Chain A
Amino acid sequence: MSKQHYEHIRNNKNFQDLVARRSKLSWTLAALILIVYYSFILVIAFSPDLFGIPISDDSTITWGIIIGIAIILFTFVITGIYVHKANTSFDQILKTVVDASHEHVNSQDSNESDRGDK
């Protein structure tokens, strides 16, 4: 039963587009978070003094702390962007793809049963 659905969905142009767009977005965002995180880690490993610089002369707060907190916020925002995109526009396209496969499989089934009647 599902086999026919899979076949139909796989060959659906809209599905292929959707998969391409979604994986482009997810790999881009994944690369982004990896770059941000490893830049952070590599600064700590190679030149930790950079993070000890205060943000202004009369402040104790250092760039390290600002950047650290910013990474936490960035992590949250970046998941928000993906979830919003995936749960609205991507899921909408997905629904039409899946509905089309149901229709296709159902019509095939009824054709077969029609033939069976005759």
Chain B
Amino acid sequence: MDDMNVTAIIMFLIFISATLLITYWAAKRTKSASQYYAAGGGITGFQNGLAIAGDYMSAASFLGISALVFASGFDGLIYSIGFLVGWPVILFLIAERLRNLGKYTFADVASYRLKQRPIRLLSACGTLAVILLYLIAQMVGAGKLIQILFGLPYEIAVVLVGILMVIYVSVGGMLATTWVQIIKACLLLFGATVMAFLVLKNLDFSVNNMFSQAVSIHDNGIAIMAPGTLVTDPVSAISLGLALMFGTAGLPHILMRFFTVPDAKQARRSVFFATGFIGYFYILTFVIGFGAIVFISTNPEFMDETGALLGGNNMSAVHLSKAMGGDILLGFISAVAFATILAVVSGLTLAGAAAVSHDLYASCIKKGQAKEETEVMVSRIATICLGVMAIMLGILFEQQNIAFMVGLAFAIAASANFPVLFFSMFWEKTTTRGAMIGGWIGLISAVTLVILGPIVWVDILGNAKAIFPYKYPALFSMSAGMFFVYVISVLDKSKAAEEEREAFGDQFVRSMTGVGIETSSH
């Protein structure tokens, strides 16, 4: 894309101006800690559903899943379904208890009746690990995408994303972050709908026609209609499934969204709408991926000399927008892709900053005695630090293979965050010692197994053979985490453990009813 796309730049500038106006509006309404971290609990279930869907529909999932469908057809659907089925689990087991027990971060819930400092320290480390890995992946993706779409140099693109996200989060808090996310979710759903519609329209609205043409064009032929090479052995299949399903239930930036709604009723509605939007979106990306096979894989306009797609497979959705709707749709989709990155990194940064200020600063360092204004100030400073780190790491990792990072983030979320959260809410006998040791074992084993696995040990470090043979560690690290939470809790005969078990009764009633929630959130 040599000539800069004027439509893209105009639409992008409109988006930036609108979101900065929202940030200004939100800043005036953001005074207390509750407003800063949780938008004062005033978001409705429908709005939060859109915002959650926005957090989940990152540029990586829009461009990445349509690219996966473009490259291997059916396999893209396996990924989409894995990402989606975590949502009912969150609804049935997590959402209402989380809302009824917590205030700003999921560590509030995990440490509800356990010792504050060790559990919050663990949760904050789990949060920061997930957030940083995710942020690096998004920043590198953003830099490369913007480079291709707008012709900006990589470093400038990364710095621009970093600065805008720091402004949204530090000035406008959760209220601004949520609205940026909602607007972006609407734009993305609209853009993807238009593309899928145009694909089908050009094929006389015959789905069968789309598949048969794709099969006749694609190098793999009929194989794209069945499972391919994504999942080969059962251990990897189950392990990937666990990471996707339970990792979602341990992602700090997603869990934090449940504190922005007023009660459990709205928390449940959030998941319902989020599941609907995300599911619809994945069906669209499936159509878009197949549309790309039909309309752009034979079009020389989108090829380089070797016959590969310009800008790589990740650009298939972007090229398709040009093939379907010309420069106007291309401009729109490019602007939406950029907006998507901005919105997702903002949500991530806010969750990371909250872990620093609410869990590390206010609870671990100040032992719950921090002034509210100071805590919010610490959070704003943490946002700026995270922004600077994200920019530096984004530049540092430009040439690195970052494909493992989101997978590792999900593995940590499933192995460290989820077991602690789950056991503390569901199992009376959980003690601080059990949760702490199990959580750390889950975290450390997830990281270690990824480093020793084929992606890092062989592909990145260049060793001949992986020490740990599987790409996805969740089956082992999550089981280890849960096993140790259980065993250590059972063996814990201390006096503190007795008190923690006794406190479960009251916690249970509150988690089921929300009674007591009025006094703790104001």
Partner of A75 from B226, B279, B506, B513 at Cβ < 8 Å: B279
Q: Are A46 and B234 in contact (CB under 8 A)?
A: yes
Indicate if the CB atoms of A64 and B215 lie closer than 8 Å.
no
Contacts of A56-100 to chain B: CB distance below 8 A? 59-62, 64-65, 68-69, 71-73, 75-76, 78-80, 82-83, 86-87, 91, 94, 97-98
Chain B positions 166 through 203: 1 when the CB is less than 8 Å from some CB of chain A, otherwise 0? 00000000000000000000000000000000000000
Contacts of B512 in A (CB 8 A): 15, 18-19, 22, 94
Interface contact A69-B283, CB-CB below 8 Å: yes
Chain A contact residues (Cβ within 8 angstroms of B): what range?
Answer: 35 or more
Q: Are B208 and A30 in contact (CB under 8 A)?
A: no
**B80 within 8 Å of A by Cβ?**
yes
Contact call A94/B92, Cβ cutoff below 8 A: no
Check if B153 is an interface residue, CB within 8 A of chain A: no
Asked whether A73 and B238 contact (CB < 8 A) given A33-B88, A44-B78, the answer is: no
**B227 contacts partner chain A, Cβ-Cβ < 8 Å:** yes
A59: chain B residues within 8 A (beta carbon): 208
Which residue of chain A has the shortest Cβ distance to B216 in the bound complex? A60
Partner of A30, one of B89, B215, B268: B89
Most buried by A among B232, B241, B509: B509
How far is A38 from B70 in the complex, measured between Cα atoms in Å?
A: 25
Does A10 touch B at the CB level, under 8 Å?
yes
- In the complex, the answer to whether A72 meets B81 with C-beta atoms within 8 Å is yes
Cβ–Cβ < 8 Å partners of B368 in chain A = none
Collect the chain A residues with CB atoms within 8 Å of residue B225's CB.
52, 54, 60-62, 64-65
Q: Which residues of B contact A (CB under 8 A)?
A: 74, 77-78, 80-82, 84-85, 87-89, 91-93, 96, 207-208, 211-212, 215, 222-223, 225-228, 231-234, 236-238, 241, 245, 265, 268-269, 271-272, 275-276, 279, 282-283, 286, 505-506, 508-510, 512-513, 515-516, 519
A-B pairs with beta carbons under 8 Å apart, 30 shown: A2-B510, A5-B509, A5-B515, A6-B515, A9-B509, A15-B509, A30-B92, A37-B81, A37-B241, A37-B245, A40-B81, A42-B234, A42-B237, A44-B227, A45-B236, A51-B74, A60-B222, A62-B74, A62-B226, A64-B74, A64-B226, A68-B77, A69-B283, A69-B286, A71-B84, A72-B283, A80-B272, A83-B268, A83-B271, A101-B515
* Interface positions of A (Cβ within 8 A of B): 1-3, 5-6, 9-10, 15, 18-19, 22, 26-27, 29-30, 33-34, 36-38, 40-42, 44-46, 48-49, 51-52, 54, 59-62, 64-65, 68-69, 71-73, 75-76, 78-80, 82-83, 86-87, 91, 94, 97-98, 101
